[in-house]
Chains A and B, each alone.
Chain A
Amino acid sequence: MKLPRNADPNIPESAWRQLDGRIATERRWSAVTLWSGIFIVAAIAIASFGVGLLGLGDANATDLFNTLTPPSWRHPFGTDDLGRDIFLRVLYAGQVDLVFGFVTTYLSLVLGLVVGALSGYFGGWIDSLVMRIVDLVISFPFIVLILAITAITGPGLTGAYIGVLAVSWALYARLSRGEMLAMRNRPFILAAETMGFGTGRIVFVHAIPNLLRSNLVFSMSDMVLNILTLASLSYLGLGVSPPMAEWGEMVAQGQKNLFNAWWMSTLPGLAIVLTGIGFCLIGDGLADRLDEGRR
């Protein structure tokens, strides 16, 4: 451990060590958070997408002689009431949920970021109007919206996509608009104006890159929320339609067998929880990292 220049020789070794130790522990913790989150999500993603490539079996293959069997070597997660292997179904469902989470989150981010940034930049009546729309969208009862959309599109994943996208962008818009308001009068934005740059350049080249940070951190928890939303919708019968595998739908199917075949609901439920934890850890770790970078 290198002592700083001109340090007082009377200072005991223990004091130096204590100082050094304190910071090291903190940094270790925040690294642990980030990397364990990445590990969890990566493992689930690789397993979910890899299973298709490896051709480990058909998630929809029924086996009416082996319904409701508990977890075993042949069926690590047991089988459901149609004899389908739950482990395979959980993995295939992972594809559906992860893709849903990713697409809804990042499409919403892009849309919300642009709307929020422009709204915050222009201010005035434009800002008021946009924010009222955002408020409306956020406060609208979500299930009613989904039902209305499903009535048009018919039951299935499409309805879920449209519904979540229709609402999710508003959160990013609000976040971005707030940050833009704070940034609006910072000298580098004013300088861009006085240098004669057009609005487009100022908002897209100068402002938005500085808004990305907070949006990305938020997107991690948003991802979790969107996946949970899909799971809830499927649980209610509004998301995927059978026989497509989806975690929430699997939880719903297993409900009637909760006491004689706990593995049907619980294990897909655990998959949801684990994925959620993974993304939250990444979000926390990222937030810590970005704070450090700022200092």
Chain B
Amino acid sequence: MSVELPLLSVEGLSKTYATGRSVIDQALGRPAPRLTALDGISLEVSANEVVGIVGESGSGKTTIARCLVRLDSPDAGTIRFLGEEIGAAHGADLRRIRREMQMIYQDPYGSLNPRMSVGRAISEPAIVHGLIDRAEADGLVRDLLDRVGLSPTVAELRPRALSGGQRQRVAIARALALRPRLIIADEAVSALDVSIQAQILNLFAELIGKLGLSMILISHQLSVISHLSDRVAVMYLGRIVETGPTAEVFSNPRHPYTQALLTAHPAVDAPRARAPALSGEIPSNYAIPAGCRFHTRCAHAVSACREIDPPAAAISSGHRSWCHVLPEFRPARPL
């Protein structure tokens, strides 16, 4: 059992957004409606580990990504990178920390500057941070393009000339230019075709292996999470409801929501169930249900669920679920 510092350690992260009020509401002193995006999230990422975050709309998975790269600042909680608190960093400190964590975005058509050549886009971060000088730019670009499986001739092209998959590779090359230790992939393959998605997933796997990278993989697609991540955190309405080693959580889910996600996942080699896995709509982030936030849609809810926030229940080493009922029950159907 190593006492090594985790690469990234998040504790109690919370974030709410206050949205606008009408003039009348302001005059009457009514409080602005508050949207709870994150409510006390804690997770850890170790070196060379892939942690998957899976959830649907309103789960907060994108907000976490934004808070980690400091596009948004959390309202509460700490973010530590190799032990160093980064939640409040700014200026030169923030720039230094930003080198360590890079993000790949969902939309390959928006993540590259349409007026900048590929080569320039890739080398710019390294030059700006002083990692290389202009003379070395070509070499770096060729190197990185090769690493992501693109021909060096791509360097002169504008993004317009590239397909979605190629653009995503360029985005990855650009992210690698700063030699980060952690890559955050926010639905990075969701907008890609199946065949290209497979290519990019393989690329991710290769880079993680070769460069010893860590990754936070955010996706709504269970299959993608299952393929790439070592551990998984299932999120619902701003909370983590189950977490643990991916293989175990997906084969032995101990939260009704995780079970529902698994059942609802359209599998190629299994028939669809007659009834939908989950009924009802996802509640609004403006009005999080009291008690266990999942109780409004849960088939197993009991009175305690409506009133008390479930504490963590340990299923096995590393596998935890936040549910009053299910940790003791067997899953409804074998998976």
Contact = CB atoms under 8 A, between A and B. Distances in A.
A196 B99 CA distance: 7
A194 B103 contact: yes
Contacts of B114: 188, 210
Contact of A196 (B103, B113, B125): B125
Interface in B99-115: 99, 101-103, 105-107, 110-115
A186 interface: yes
B99 to A, nearest CB: 7
A12 B99 CA distance: 61
Contacts of B70: 194
A196 B95 contact: yes
A210 B107 contact: no
B105 A195 contact: no
A201 B124 CA distance: 11
Contact of B111 (A191, A197, A201, A206): A191
Contact of B98 (A194, A206, A209): A194
Q: How large is the interface on B (under 10, 10 to 19, 20 to 34, 35 or more residues)?
A: 20 to 34
A196 B112 contact: no
Contact of B112 (A188, A190, A195, A209): A188
B102 A210 contact: no
Contacts of B86: none
B222 to A, nearest CB: 24
Contacts of A206: 113, 116
Contacts of A190: 71, 103, 105
B98 A187 contact: no
Contacts of A194: 69-71, 98, 101-103
Contacts of A192: 113
B71 A195 contact: no
Contacts of B115: 209-210
B272 interface: no
Interface in A185-236: 186-188, 190-197, 201, 206, 209-210
Interface residues of A, number: 15
A187 B69 contact: no
Contacts of B113: 188, 192, 206, 209-210
A55 B322 CA distance: 91
Given A191-B103, A191-B174, A201-B128, A196 B98 contact: yes
A194 B115 CA distance: 19
A201 B113 CA distance: 13
Contacts of B95: 196
Contacts of B128: 195-197, 201
B178 interface: yes
B332 to A, nearest CB: 40
Interface in A71-130: none
B98 A195 contact: yes
B198 interface: no
Contacts of A210: 113-115
A187 B94 contact: no
B110 A187 contact: yes
B105 to A, nearest CB: 4
A227 to B, nearest CB: 30
Contact of B178 (A186, A193, A195, A209): A195
Contacts of A193: 71
Contacts of B107: 187
A190 B128 CA distance: 16
Nearest to B108: A187
A131 to B, nearest CB: 16
A186 B106 CA distance: 11
Which of A190, A196, A201, A206 has most B Cβ within 10 Å?
A196
Nearest to A207: B113
B134 interface: no
17 contacts: A187-B110, A188-B112, A188-B113, A190-B71, A191-B174, A194-B69, A194-B98, A194-B103, A195-B124, A195-B174, A195-B178, A196-B95, A196-B98, A196-B99, A209-B115, A209-B116, A210-B115
Given A194-B103, A195-B125, A195-B128, 9 more contacts: A191-B111, A191-B171, A194-B69, A194-B71, A195-B98, A197-B124, A206-B116, A210-B114, A210-B115
Q: Which 8 A-B pairs have the closest CB atoms?
A: A187-B105, A187-B111, A196-B98, A196-B95, A209-B115, A187-B110, A195-B125, A194-B69
